[in-house]
């Protein structure tokens, strides 16, 4: 099974993880920027991180035969330091124009504050300006309210639904996300949040159109093989090869292919 992992934080993984991911069929990863486990205190610690992903992390992936792309943006959690966050966003544009940068992300809401909304809207405007896809993080608390707000803001800022990927959906939000016409990500975790089994049930109920799977695999309890493991669970649940491949390969391909810098070949 050919797999594209559309949202994974390889910065927090080892090279052994790359080796296992390649062996499990992952041919391409997209890494959105995120919180690094501690808050940053200067713009340069953000821009150093962007530079690291574009150059060092991509080389690390390619060494294992995995094609690598990134999305650059300022995460919601750190948007609450509004002065720094605005300064970071002031410095984003040169990075959005770099090779291998195929989107703006991940952006969105954490605690659903006014500061988060301001930084989210500024970055959506950049996605529109550069005609790039955006990867949007929905909050883990008050998910329904936060997702509703996100979908309204995306509409107000006029980012095309086809260029919007709303991640971290659950049973609570999947219908409203799909009804908004945007792409829906199911972020799978080994213990907390959404399990592989629940993700399979959601796909059984809502079908395979505009849905994709990812493992995020960041600093918390996580597993970079959860997309290939969910392929197995979908197979056991009776999904056809075509249905599975659509969710783990063709859908993420079609979403990111909207960026001319996504040069991965089918």
Question: What is the contact surface with Zn ion in residues (CB under 5 A)?
Answer: 34, 216
Q: How far is the CB of 3 from Zn ion (least distance, A)?
A: 18
Residue reference for tokens 């639904």: 161
Q: How far is the CB of 214 from Zn ion (least distance, A)?
A: 8
Residue number, 185 or 228, with CB nearest to Zn ion: 185
Residue reference for tokens 């997309």: 227
For residue 116, give every residue at least 6 positions away whose Cβ sits within 8 Å of its Cβ, in sequence order, or none: 76, 79, 80, 108, 109, 110
For residue 233, give every residue at least 6 positions away whose Cβ sits within 8 Å of its Cβ, in sequence order, or none: 196, 197, 200
Residue number, 73 or 228, with CB nearest to Zn ion: 73
Q: How far is the CB of 9 from Zn ion (least distance, A)?
A: 6
Q: How far is the CB of 34 from Zn ion (least distance, A)?
A: 5
Cβ contact 8:230 at 8 Å = no
Residue number, 222 or 259, with CB nearest to Zn ion: 222
Residue number, 34 or 95, with CB nearest to Zn ion: 34
**Which element (helix H / strand E) includes 27?**
strand 26-32
Q: CA angle 32-188-212, nearest 5°? A: 65
Q: How far is the CB of 25 from Zn ion (least distance, A)?
A: 21
Name the residue whose CB lies closest to Zn ion. 216
For the purposes of burial, counting CB atoms within 10 Å of the CB of 223, is it exposed (0-12), middle (13-18) or buried (19 or more)? middle
Measured CA to CA, the distance from residue 162 to residue 168 in angstroms comes to: 17
Residue number, 187 or 259, with CB nearest to Zn ion: 187
3-state secondary structure of 11: helix
Residue number, 177 or 239, with CB nearest to Zn ion: 177
Q: How far is the CB of 70 from Zn ion (least distance, A)?
A: 12
């Amino acid at each position: 099974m050919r797999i594209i992992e559309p949202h994974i934080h390889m910065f927090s993984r080892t090279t052994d993880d790359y080796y296992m991911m390649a062996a499990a069929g992952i041919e391409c990863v997209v890494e959105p920027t995120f919180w690094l486990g501690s808050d940053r205190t200067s713009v340069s610690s953000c821009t150093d991180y962007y530079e690291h992903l574009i150059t060092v992390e991509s080389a690390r992936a390619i060494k294992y035969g995995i094609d690598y792309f990134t999305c650059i943006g300022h995460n919601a959690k750190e948007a609450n330091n509004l002065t720094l966050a605005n300064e970071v966003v002031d410095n984003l544009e040169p990075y959005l124009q770099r090779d291998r940068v195929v989107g703006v992300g991940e952006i969105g809401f954490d605690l659903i504050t006014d500061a988060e909304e301001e930084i989210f809207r500024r970055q959506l405007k950049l996605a529109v300006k550069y005609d790039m896809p955006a990867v949007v993080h929905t909050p883990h608390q008050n998910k329904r309210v936060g997702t509703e707000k996100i979908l309204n803001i995306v509409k107000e800022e006029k980012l095309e639904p086809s260029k919007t990927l709303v991640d971290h959906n659950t049973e609570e939000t999947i219908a409203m996300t799909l009804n908004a016409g945007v792409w829906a990500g199911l972020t799978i975790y080994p213990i907390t949040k959404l399990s592989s089994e629940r993700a399979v049930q959601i796909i059984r109920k809502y079908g395979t159109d505009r849905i994709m799977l990812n493992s995020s695999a960041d600093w918390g309890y996580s597993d970079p093989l959860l997309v290939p493991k969910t392929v197995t669970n979908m197979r056991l649940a009776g999904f056809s090869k075509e249905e599975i491949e659509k969710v783990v390969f063709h859908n993420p391909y079609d979403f990111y292919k909207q960026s001319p810098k996504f040069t991965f070949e089918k």
